[in-house]
């Protein structure tokens, strides 16, 4: 622990994901006093019809995929 689940729109590159999990792990280690190897991160990617705000999906809102 901590075990972190990150939900985001699909489309990031491997490089972006690697940078993100590295930076998040550093942030958690620095603020919660845990060792890096205790930090696990799971990424769940969502398609443009699978995330909605105010009852409209990202596709409906014309939200472009990241990257």
List the catalytic residues. Answer: 2
Per-residue mark of binding to a second copy, 15-44 (x: CB under 8 A): -xxxxxxxxxxxxx-xxxxx-xx-xxxxxx
Q: How far apart are CA 16 and CA 30, in angstroms?
A: 21
Q: How far apart are CA 38 and CA 61, in angstroms?
A: 38
Do 42 and 21 meet the contact criterion of CB atoms below 8 Å apart? no
What letter would DSSP give residue 63? P
Is residue 62 a contact point for a second copy (CB under 8 A)? no
Is residue 65 a contact point for a second copy (CB under 8 A)? no
List residues near a second copy by CB under 8 A. 1-9, 12, 14, 16-28, 30-34, 36-37, 39-46, 49-57, 59-60, 66-67
């Amino acid at each position: 622990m901590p075990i972190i689940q990150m939900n985001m729109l699909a489309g990031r590159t491997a490089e972006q994901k690697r940078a993100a999990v590295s930076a998040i792990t550093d942030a958690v280690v620095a603020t919660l006093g845990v060792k890096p190897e205790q930090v696990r991160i799971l990424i769940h990617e969502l398609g443009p019809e699978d995330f909605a705000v105010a009852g409209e999906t990202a596709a409906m809102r014309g939200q472009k995929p990241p990257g």
